[in-house]
Amino acid sequence: MLSEQSTGLVRATLPIIAETIEQITLAFYQRMFTAHPDLLRDLFNRGNQSNGTQSRALAGSIAAFASMLIDHPEHRPDQLLDRIAHKHASLGVTAEQYTIVHRHLFAAIAEVLGDGLTDEVAAAWNEVYWLMAGALIARESRLYALTGISDGDVWRPWRVVGRIEETPDVATFMLCPADRGPIPPFRPGQYVSVQVELPDGARQIRQYSLSCAPDGTARWIAVKRVTGTPEGEVSNWLHANIREDDVLRVSAPFGDVVLDDEDCPVLLASAGIGCTPMISMLAHLAAASTIRPVTVVHGDHSERTHAFRSDLGLLTEKIPQAASHVWYENPEGPWPAERTGLVDLSGIEIPEDTRAYLCGPVPFMRSVRAQLLQYGVPASRIHYEVFGPDLGLD
């Protein structure tokens, strides 16, 4: 809880901080990467840095945390903190790195605010920072302990035992521990980080959902080749270079958007490569012989780009109360008119006690979430996964 004196100062200065927060975060990253170029080379996503999404996500998380401390001091934004903690744990972030962030963040605040940053204001925002950092450090340490590893020691060598070309731009890599150690458990919906050394020597990291059921003897990840500007450094490298018997550096599994153990109806909604955590959830439900009502919704460009298309049909058939609904924007063969275009939940029965899981492009998830709210599904029962900086759905 924020002290009474700091609460007043943070409330008074929050508007100016909010107004300049993107300038602050940009200056922060410039300062930190100048002092620690290894962090940009080997930890942070260079693509997200170049397009500015990481700065906007950091700005949003700081503002959201500060606002919660002021407006709802009796609560903490646990969902926000848990999501960040899982992402940090998958990267091997340690407590010592929060001191580095603090040093360069507050230097950036002083640079942007100038004389507006008095000692008292700096002390108040220092309290905000360490409340947030302390909560994250505790969560991340707990995640490491639950995984049975030392803080930050998340990496192991995994051998590629198979590669499947799902679509022209999506490949599944089947992995087993190269050290022949035990396979760590995971929950359906979780992801792993993969770190690869690129031609310029950078060791870039990306997260990929596990696309298999948890009870298998291998771990599968599906990687979509990312095109455009900037194109995906890691995804393109994996597609071009990794074949059977190669070894990858892979983290322990993390992720807070996981399939629950309730008996209520479940909705799995995805678009594009967002189907990867959903196919894992569906495979788990099928293997467990679930009697839950399961509705699967997916949107894609066409049949040709739809990864796991056959798996979706086969797994749905194994679940007694399951139904799948697929939309293609540009179907290549005969396709019902009502399933052409974007995902539209009208006409699909969605009980109010449904628990929904969403993954895909942010506009898709924003649209589906709005439709579910109109159906009466509470926001607390709608969960979503974003790969890359989380800019929110509201």
| Other beta carbons less than 10 A from residue 93's beta carbon | 21
C-alpha 96/C-alpha 331 separation (Å) is 51
Which of these, 144, 133, 135, lies nearest to 75 by C-alpha position?
Answer: 135
Residue spans of beta strands (DSSP E) within 168-233: 170-177, 191-197, 203-209, 219-224
Tokens of 85: 């903690």
Q: 208 Cβ partners below 8 Å, 6+ apart?
A: 191, 192, 193, 194, 221, 222, 223, 276
Structure letter (DSSP) for residue 273: G
The single residue of 29, 127, 140, 144 carrying the catalytic annotation is 140
C-alpha 207/C-alpha 209 separation (Å) is 7
Residues facing residue 20 across a β-bridge: none
C-alpha 309/C-alpha 331 separation (Å) is 13
Q: 158 Cβ partners below 8 Å, 6+ apart?
A: 175, 176, 177, 178, 219, 247, 248, 249, 250
Tokens of 128: 């905000």
User: In which order are the strands placed within the sheet that holds 266-271?
Assistant: 322-328, 294-300, 266-271, 355-359, 382-385
Q: What is the dihedral of CA 359, 362, 363, 366, to 10 degrees?
A: 70
96: annotated active-site residue: no
384: annotated active-site residue: no
Q: What angle do CA 77, 80, 83 make, to 5 degrees?
A: 145
The single residue of 29, 98, 191, 208 carrying the catalytic annotation is 98
Query: What length is written for the chain?
Result: 394
Phi, psi of 388 (to 5 degrees): 110, 180
DSSP letters for 303-331? TTT-TTHHHHHHHHHTSTTEEEEEEESS-
Which of these, 233, 209, 232, 206, lies nearest to 220 by C-alpha position?
Answer: 209
Positions marked active-site: 98, 140
